[in-house]
């Protein structure tokens, strides 16, 4: 088995068929699809079963609702492929998605392959592309040079990428309500010796009303993001990498969240106090 595709599923009945149809229409065929039904209460479980019955490459695993992070971990436990990729159940992939990533992995001897994406905005029914025919290419990075691009939005999520399965030997997603990708992605980049970057529109990222990343900030999501940024900082420090970019991201996030919480009179919360303490430390000792 060459590739395991892990798809967490939770209450996405309106999007799931298109996602799975795009996966099963791949020009590359040596893959398995691991659907983790994370306690869905709509028709998602039924849709998963129907696809599993139609195609033997589709495997269904059911669990109580534990969140996307733990669903991905469950998928990793079942995965048999030499490579791992993650798809979100409300997104889609183009027919040559797997072929492009796998070919780049082999040709460039890369443990991580990053694919570009285009965006579909449900509100307004619009597609947004930023890669054109003249832009298409493959770039290769060695010895963590790829981390210079780390602050760009594309390189933070785990979807749309191909990872050598061995990278997950000691890496798992944390039990956070959000921003779990930020917690692990730099670990995978740091563990890899070579990263290939396929500049092509391979993955359709869909933003929809009510999705996790479009709901209003909550205290837990703020805590999770601060936790993830601190984990990134610590990983990069252990690897003796340049901390300039992540330090700037951290300070900007802390300042924005401090203002956000103050405007809502949430200055007595633990996360507000932690943010203020961190900012004071930076002001006193930061460079």
User: CA 264, 268, 270 angle in degrees (round to 5)?
Assistant: 110
The whole-number average pLDDT for the span 64-90 is 97
Residue 125 pLDDT level (bands cut at 50, 70, 90): confident
Tokens standing for 260? 């956000």
How far is residue 84's CA from residue 167's CA, in Å, rounded to a whole number?
9
- Determine the pLDDT at residue 213: 46
Domain ranges in the chain? 3-209, 214-285
Cα 143 from Cα 155, distance rounded (Å): 17
Whole-model pTM: value is 0.93
pLDDT digits (tens, 9 = 90+) for 144-178: 787 777 666 678 899 999 999 999 999 999 998 88
94 within 8 A of 15, measured Cβ to Cβ:
no
Rounded to whole angstroms, how far apart are CA atoms 56 and 3?
Answer: 15
Q: Residue 207: count other Cβ atoms within 10 Å of its Cβ.
A: 15
Number of residues assigned to the chain: 287
How confident is the model over 2-57, as pLDDT tens digits? 999 999 999 999 999 999 999 999 999 999 999 999 999 999 999 999 999 999 99
Q: What CATH class is the domain 3-209?
A: alpha beta
State yes or no: pLDDT of 210 exceeds 80.
no
């Amino acid at each position: 088995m060459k590739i395991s595709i892990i798809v967490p599923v939770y209450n996405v009945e309106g999007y799931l068929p298109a996602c799975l149809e795009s996966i099963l229409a791949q020009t590359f065929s040596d893959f398995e699809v691991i659907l983790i039904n994370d306690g869905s209460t709509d028709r998602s479980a039924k849709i998963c079963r129907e696809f599993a019955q139609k195609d033997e490459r589709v495997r269904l695993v059911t669990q109580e609702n534990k969140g996307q992070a733990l669903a991905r971990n469950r998928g990793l436990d079942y995965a048999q492929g030499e490579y791992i990729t993650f798809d979100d159940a409300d997104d889609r992939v183009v027919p040559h998605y797997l072929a492009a990533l796998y070919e780049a992995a082999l040709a460039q001897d890369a443990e991580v392959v990053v694919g570009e994406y285009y965006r579909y905005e449900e509100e307004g029914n619009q597609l947004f592309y930023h890669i054109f025919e003249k832009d298409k290419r493959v770039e290769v990075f060695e010895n963590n040079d790829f981390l210079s691009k780390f602050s760009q939005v594309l390189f933070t999520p785990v979807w749309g990428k191909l990872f050598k399965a061995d990278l997950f030997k000691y890496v798992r997603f944390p039990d956070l309500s959000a921003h779990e990708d930020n917690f692990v992605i730099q670990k995978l980049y740091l563990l890899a010796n070579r990263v290939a970057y396929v500049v092509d529109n391979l993955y359709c990222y869909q933003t929809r009303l009510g999705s996790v990343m479009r709901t209003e900030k909550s205290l837990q999501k703020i805590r999770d993001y601060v936790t993830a940024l601190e984990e990134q900082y610590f990983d990069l420090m252990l690897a003796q990498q340049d901390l300039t970019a992540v330090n700037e991201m951290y300070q900007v996030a802390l300042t924005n969240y401090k203002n956000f919480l103050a405007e809502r009179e949430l200055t007595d919360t633990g996360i507000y106090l932690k943010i203020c303490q961190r900012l004071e430390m930076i002001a006193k000792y930061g460079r």
